Structure 1
């Protein structure tokens, strides 16, 4: 399968103006992607839980324009103009123009909002690019006179990847693989795919409580972090480890072995941050309260036999993962022991979700 399948044929109809609203969730990687090749191709495969409550809602207003020599768009976050977002969107448009060649035909107004703090380590670029990509695919389906209800999630995932790598895992649910892996049929570097094998009941209603240790901007962008993997002394071994962990998860998902799941997920989180701390230049995105939370989780698990575990993205916030049957006890634990380490005591209750969706079209 090649990217040529995403090249469009001439559009049969013309549309002067309209709007499309889509929502896309964030996702939390269990096996982490860190390091990429040219054209947003991952150095290693990853797998993620698609979330439900943490999402971006984007409305794409489009109006045909006379000058079709350049991109034309404005972007708003929560109703406020965000000119600092424009370079990233323009880079995204340049990368995808050959696959959606109507981009210069229209002036776009992109209105976006998040249900979670922007740039705080909850993968806002993933949900944001996922929502925008689905809007563009919906517009293309209109130009092709296709049923807008039957979204082309594969193409949306492909486009989203060219904006933010992990965004390709935010189009569908509940377990999504991105990156070629020898033991996972259909896996691809070009787009996210639904995990194709047996999944034990333990993992079908998993919970994710996001402990907001730091809601501020990250000190180091993910793009810079990925680039530092190019000459990282431990990069090749890390890429091998990701393949190994994903292989082990195939059996874990089948058997429901939560102890082995906990070990791999926490190892992946700490390895991700270890790669940051051993790059050159090196950096630390965890905060003191991140470590307080991790130690409290380990103590709680030892004392209670709970299967709760943590994972981290490229930031200070902690994702607390656990089976639904432990929800009451874990929420009590959060209130009694962990909320004090969160900024203003804030945390977000989330769980597995089904992916992006079309909310409206005019």
Structure 2
């Protein structure tokens, strides 16, 4: 039995992807751009074992066995295996050929809430494709295959700042992810994930996109007339480390994405009351300082992702804690990178407003840009035991 274990990151789009022009190949109607979050805080871990003793392919996600026949899963398995057959060299031919004839057991876990709008499918499919590639000794461009599992998964194949170029070819060969800058490019950048809900979304991203493409005139206008220019401006802001431009573009694009959801018929509501309170707080905070010090972004869910620079983290986290007092349920309110307690000025508290929403934010994950997928050499991290079945701790 051969076992390979890898990890892959979550990414958060600052120029959003919403809508496909080809459902089967997952080809988007516009390009997008994301920041890869550090795996020390948010990651998917996947172990894949291949053995001649396995009777069939099987998969376990977060401790529960799932249907391996899911079409997108099958696409990823088929495409990586096809590349392995095509690219194997003479030295590896015997080993790769033998393993290619074996069935596989796949075990995958997330260290963050699944299906709550935290890009779990992106990390999951990126990790699946990367781990399969390591199992079969496949190298080279993998984002095209990851894209066919989950569109945004292609961006999780790289660290730092990543663009997904929509491409023009009908077969999708040019719809790929490209790294704009490495995770080391902007060391001061910090990301705060404000988890307002860990519940499953009422409307999944796939069905939501389909309805938006069919019914929203604003979505078509956004894809054709707004995003191309925003992509250029965002890449320039990142390269220059211009937080003012980066922050404003991030918030405007998040707002427009959710406007297209409201323009969809029937309308889709991913934001809740806590989300709206966070948006209001960010704007009051920036108005207090007369510049953009923090920026929000919301994917298809109510959880806020806040971008800021390292010197601002302590104060803004203190402000969020003050406005959304945590419920004492025994779980830590702050997770991830360390945050230092600080005092807030009376002027800032007045600017933030007196309204409180106890328990509105369940917890905060503090992180930063991080690297792409990697293979683990620590056998203790394998999720599958010597029998090819999930370990109990998995």
TM-score w.r.t. length of structure 1? 0.81
Give matches, 1:1-362, under 5 Å.
Answer: 17-38=1-22, 39-52=25-38, 53-64=41-52, 72-83=56-67, 86=70, 88-90=72-74, 92-93=76-77, 98-100=82-84, 105-141=101-137, 152=139, 154-180=140-166, 189-195=174-180, 203-231=186-214, 232-239=216-223, 240-305=225-290, 307-338=293-324, 340=326, 345-360=362-377
Per-residue CA distance 1:2-44 (angstroms, 9 max, x = gap) = xxxxxxxxxxxxxxx3111000010001101111122111211
Deviation at 1:290, TM superposition (A): 0.7
| CA deviation profile, 1:107-131 (whole Å, cap 9, x unmatched) | 2221111111111111000000011
CA positional deviation for 1:156: 2.7
CA contact (8 A) 2:80 2:133 kept: no
User: 1:24–1:55: 8 Å Cα contact kept in structure 2?
Assistant: yes
Task: From the superposition, tell whether residues 251 and 66 of structure 1 become closer, same or farther in structure 2 (CA, over 3 Å).
Answer: closer
CA distance in 1, matches of 2:361, 2:58: 33
Count of residues in correspondence between the two structures: 325
1:236 shift after superposition? 2.5
The offset of 1:86, in angstroms, is 4.6
Moved more, 209-218 or 277-286: 277-286
CA RMSD of aligned residues (A): 2.9
Q: Is the 8 A contact 1:181 1:243 kept in 2?
A: no
Larger Rg: 2
The verdict on how the C-alpha distance between 1:106 and 1:281 changes in structure 2, with shifts beyond 3 A counting, is farther
Contact 1:54–1:115 (CA<8 Å) still a contact in 2?
A: yes
Query: What is the CA–CA distance in structure 2 between the aligned matches of 1:32 and 1:356, rounded to whole Å?
Result: 22
Who is 2:89 aligned against?
none
Displacement of 1:139 after TM fit? 1.5
Work out the CA distance in 2 between the residues paired with 1:281 and 1:96. 38
Which runs of 5 or more structure 1 residues have no equivalent in the other structure? 1-16, 145-151, 183-187
Aligned to 1:76, the other structure's residue is in SS state strand
Counterpart-to-counterpart distance in 2, 1:348 and 1:324: 14
Change (3 A) 1:121 1:85: farther
Aligned to 1:6: none
Native 8 Å contact 2:180 2:235 kept in 1: no
Structure 1 runs of 4+ aligned residues shifted over 6 Å read none
Q: SS state of the match for residue 28, structure 2?
A: coil
Deviation for aligned residue 1:54: 1.1
Other structure's SS at 1:169 match? helix
- Please tell me whether the aligned partners of residues 200 and 253 of structure 1 are also in contact (alpha carbons under 8 angstroms): no
Give the unaligned 5+ runs of structure 2. 86-96, 327-356, 380-394
Alpha-carbon contact 1:312-1:318 (below 8 Å) kept? yes
Question: CA deviation digits over 1:276-323, x for unaligned, max 9?
Answer: 111123211111111011111111221234611100111110001101
SS at match of 2:267: coil
Q: Is the partner of 1:309 in helix, strand or coil? A: strand
